[in-house]
Structure 1
Amino acid sequence: MAKTMHSKDTITHKRVLTIAVPIVLSNATVPILGAVDTGVVGQLGLAAPIGAVGIGAVILASVYWLFGFLRMGTTGLVAQARGAGDLGEVSALLTRVMMIAVVAGVALIALQVPILWAAFKLAPASAEVETLARSYIGIRIWSAPFAIAGFGLTGWLIAGERTRAVLVLQLWMNGLNILLDLWFVLGLGWGIEGVAIATVIAEVTGAGLGLFLCRSALTHPAWKAWPKVFDPARLLNMARVNTDIMIRSILLLAIMVSFAFFGASFGDLTLAANHILMQFVEITAYALDGFAFTAEVLVGQALGARSALALRRGALMASFWGLLVCTVLAVTFAVFGGVIVDIMTTAPDVQAEARRFLPWMVSVPLVGLAAWMLDGVFIGATRTRDMRNMSVVSLVVYLAAVYVLMPRFGAHGLWAALLISYIARGATLAWKYPALERDAHRS
């Protein structure tokens, strides 16, 4: 029989907003940072530096988000441990994810030469863009352990509903990054190298602050109880969850990376315009992530507490607020999209090219809603196999759409294929959702 949750755990609109609003605010600083990165380079008045930062950022995001399971898997597992009242496991999980972050980050630094070689073999950009992007990536990869650790630290804080701490962390990292961007690029004239150095400094200091914010884990002796930290059954479950999420991330990143590379095939101008327009997509993703993260926490705790009713209520209430945010974003992009583009670049040809595709940006929030929100639900439930399988479907549908639409409609067909992939992921996850409630009833 499902366990009734305590009154203090009742899911209300106030509780949803208390969790989500700090996340929305903290996530809002990330696309703002991306816009500033693009904007300061855009002040040079050339398309190539904009494209180089875009390609370089996409490559690094692809590499780092292979380890994005440290954020997603940590939130789901910690939320379920909290719902079950297992505080020792909550502390032990932080130790596990930090060990993974250190090992993964050192491995990326050691493998940076083949990584860079493979990345530029895949990227069909011009020689000028490739040279600039190589310099950018070669600097930023040195902060890999700290960037990856940030995923785990953030996931642990979110699972404990400590989203104000997440806000503090993001404000520090992104605020510092923006200030250093302006100083290094516009003040000292360091170009895209200045953008990279600013990010490295922000990621290193951010990891230190994140560890300080997670210091409550040290109050329970399980954080260094090595038999518990290395418990075979828990490690196996964590490996299963994280492997599925990693595969899922690879599949979704394949869509985003191929989108950038397909766009580059239309020339540097379209590449630069697409990079600017991807800031609209990131704004949408990060705004919705606030409520998707809320769904992760509420669904995870509901499963830990064995409450199917709480699971449904958490998923629906988080999605309700996500829909409101999406509507506001769609209207904002429709009214102010051109102004946003003009702020991000002073190059007239890039401005004109980006404006051609603005109608797609208006559609992104509403089309992507189901995919982003259901991702949160399934992560909280740690139903990662379903997420992995539905991402396979989404990638296949996307590639089929590219094959059919891009030759006929050019870059417009490419944008249409991207939105179709969101629809495919949302629809297939919705088809799998009823099984979550059945599992909660059986728990």
Structure 2
Amino acid sequence: MSSSSCVRQFTRNPVRSFFMLWVPVLFSMVAEPLTGLVDTAFVARLGSEQLAALGIGTVVLTSGLWLFNFLAVGSQTEVSQAGGRNDFDRAKRFGSLAIFLAAAIGLCMALLVSSTASEITALMGGSGRLQEYSVAYIRLRALGGPAVLVTMASFGILYGLADMRSPLLVAVCVNTMNILLDWLLIFGIGPFPSMGVEGAALASSISQWVGAVWCLARIKKQLGFTTRVTTDDVRKLMSIGRDMFVRTGSLILFLLLATRSATRLGADAGAAHQAIRQVWIFTNLFLDASAVTAQSVVGYFFGSGSFVRAKQVAKLVSVISFMIGCVLLAVMAAGTTLAGAILVPASGLVLFAPAWMVSAMVQPIAALAFVTDGIHWGTGDFVFLRNVVVLATCCGSLAIVIMDMLGVTSLTAIWWITGAWVFIRAVLGVLRLWPGTARSPLNRAPVMEG
């Protein structure tokens, strides 16, 4: 779908056009976690040490790469706004810059992680055979680091062009290839050698490079590349990177503190928390799809000067996202017993159920937090989003520290604190739009309609 058709769709039938954009984004996001489950199932057949090595390697690489998600978010905002102004020269410059930085950062990360794999795995608690498997996995998986960041930036560019279908096609095909290569390389089928956990790493790296090349071909066809990047473009992306780096780091910090606090409550609490967190990550995909859709459409209208329409779109996507959150709440509440039976041992059920219900009740609030993130990304309000997450993380972290100091041993309390952390983000995100503040880009902008 082109940017212009996106505008026509939202003008004529906004709800239908929202879901036409939202559904492909959702499925492209779901593809990778499903592949991760298949990876886990295959490697689990090799033994506990290999599975633990997969866990260490995945955490190390995923956390490191997630810090550079500004390449996707920043390029999506700039490309969508440039598309709204029909300034495709700027979109091409910014997209080319994002791709170059993604490749450069990815290469540096691959070299750094490969050369320090032994030290990293030791810090993660690996030793003996476990460390050997972890080092081997990380070094082969790191080969795909540049490809992961290039694909990340490419998805942002394509989303900025309102092309949600290309990332979906790439995600589905690449992850299908990953699963097939897993089967061939882990166990050694036919002429392929049996590589064990190293086969899982190599399968991921090969698939990621295929996806990166495919994305570059799509961008070349739709937008093209250029070497005529200006210093203003570089400063803009670096500014976005600074704000997003701090924001993402704050998110990771709070989640790590919450997980550590739950783990210290005992094995049953740690297992229950992990189960809820995994479902939370899955439900977040539905909410993140709303954020990506909002960012693209609001960014387009904001860039075109149609600020009234941008606010109308912001209201619409917020209402729809809130309704999606309510559906998730209902599904989680109805599935409490089933989820407990599947996800946690019997000894952890008494801790699981109340914490699960709190996480379910937070879903509509989280929906508003996510969608307003997308709206503010669309207007380029990165400093505000950085400050909000830093504030929420300070409050949430302080609450967890106080809880630990007081000796409170309640997993449910940790999830209430997590809910408050999300609530702060949601409330401030909504207030920035309605009634709005003087510094909000949508309120500062002159009223024009394109």
The runs of 5 or more residues in structure 1 that have no matched partner are none
Structure 1 residues 254, 195: CA separation in 2 closer, same or farther (over 3 Å shift)?
farther
Does 151-160 or 351-360 show the bigger shift?
351-360
**How many Å separate the matches in 1 of 2:182 and 2:260?**
26
Aligned residues of 1:252 and 1:395 also touching (Cα < 8 A): yes
The Cα of 1:196 is off from its aligned counterpart by: 2.9
**How many Å separate the matches in 1 of 2:45 and 2:338?**
16
Letter in 2 for 1:408: V
Are 1:31 and 2:33 an aligned pair? yes
1:107 match: 108
1:159 match: 160
1:431 match: 431
1:146 match: 147
**How many Å separate the matches in 1 of 2:132 and 2:262?**
18
Paired residues, number: 430
Match of 1:370 among 364, 368, 371: 368
The Cα of 1:260 is off from its aligned counterpart by: 4.3
Structure 1 residues 253, 23: CA separation in 2 closer, same or farther (over 3 Å shift)?
same
Structure 1 residues 342, 99: CA separation in 2 closer, same or farther (over 3 Å shift)?
farther
Aligned residues of 1:135 and 1:193 also touching (Cα < 8 A): yes
Letter in 1 for 2:161: G
Aligned residues of 1:124 and 1:265 also touching (Cα < 8 A): no
Q: Which has the higher contact order (CA 8 A, sep 6+)?
A: 1
Aligned residues of 1:83 and 1:305 also touching (Cα < 8 A): yes
Are 1:393 and 2:391 an aligned pair? yes
1:77 match: 78
Aligned residues of 1:270 and 1:350 also touching (Cα < 8 A): no
**How many Å separate the matches in 2 of 1:161 and 1:379?**
15
Considering only aligned residues, what root-mean-square deviation do their CA atoms show, in Å? 3.4
Does 276-285 or 255-264 show the bigger shift?
255-264
Does 285-294 or 313-322 show the bigger shift?
313-322
2:221 match: 216
Aligned residues of 2:137 and 2:197 also touching (Cα < 8 A): yes
SS of the counterpart of 1:59? helix
1:422 match: 422
SS of the counterpart of 1:67? coil
Are 1:20 and 2:22 an aligned pair? yes
**How many Å separate the matches in 1 of 2:444 and 2:80?**
17
The Cα of 1:380 is off from its aligned counterpart by: 0.9
1:321 match: 320
**How many Å separate the matches in 2 of 1:50 and 1:419?**
32
Does 31-40 or 171-180 show the bigger shift?
31-40
Aligned residues of 2:94 and 2:233 also touching (Cα < 8 A): no
Letter in 1 for 2:390: V
**How many Å separate the matches in 1 of 2:422 and 2:136?**
33
Aligned residues of 1:338 and 1:355 also touching (Cα < 8 A): no
1:58 match: 59
Match of 2:205 among 180, 200, 206: 200
Deviations for 1:6-38, whole angstroms, at most 9, x for unmatched residues? 756627112212211111122222332333344
**How many Å separate the matches in 2 of 1:53 and 1:352?**
27
**How many Å separate the matches in 2 of 1:116 and 1:257?**
21
Deviations for 1:240-268, whole angstroms, at most 9, x for unmatched residues? 12221122112212223444444554567
The Cα of 1:409 is off from its aligned counterpart by: 2.4
After TM superposition, the structure 1 = structure 2 runs for residues 245-284 of structure 1, keeping only pairs within 5 Å, are 245-265=244-264, 274-284=273-283
The Cα of 1:140 is off from its aligned counterpart by: 1.8
Letter in 2 for 1:139: L
TM-score (norm 1): 0.84
After TM superposition, the structure 1 = structure 2 runs for residues 225-264 of structure 1, keeping only pairs within 5 Å, are 226=227, 228-229=228-229, 231-264=230-263
Deviations for 1:371-426, whole angstroms, at most 9, x for unmatched residues? 21111011111111111111111211221121133541254443333333212222
**How many Å separate the matches in 2 of 1:419 and 1:128?**
40
Aligned residues of 2:147 and 2:208 also touching (Cα < 8 A): yes
Letter in 1 for 2:16: K
Structure 1 residues 129, 251: CA separation in 2 closer, same or farther (over 3 Å shift)?
farther
Does 365-374 or 100-109 show the bigger shift?
365-374
The Cα of 1:173 is off from its aligned counterpart by: 2.2
**How many Å separate the matches in 2 of 1:273 and 1:176?**
33
**How many Å separate the matches in 1 of 2:133 and 2:260?**
16
TM-score (norm 2): 0.83
SS of the counterpart of 2:373? helix
**How many Å separate the matches in 2 of 1:377 and 1:18?**
18
Aligned residues of 2:392 and 2:424 also touching (Cα < 8 A): yes
Aligned residues of 2:121 and 2:134 also touching (Cα < 8 A): no
Structure 1 residues 307, 60: CA separation in 2 closer, same or farther (over 3 Å shift)?
same
**How many Å separate the matches in 1 of 2:265 and 2:44?**
20
Structure 1 residues 402, 90: CA separation in 2 closer, same or farther (over 3 Å shift)?
same
Deviations for 1:178-212, whole angstroms, at most 9, x for unmatched residues? 34445555777865444433322221211111112
**How many Å separate the matches in 1 of 2:217 and 2:370?**
30
Aligned residues of 2:22 and 2:289 also touching (Cα < 8 A): yes
Aligned residues of 2:379 and 2:442 also touching (Cα < 8 A): no
The Cα of 1:127 is off from its aligned counterpart by: 8.1
**How many Å separate the matches in 1 of 2:341 and 2:217?**
40
The runs of 5 or more residues in structure 2 that have no matched partner are 1-5
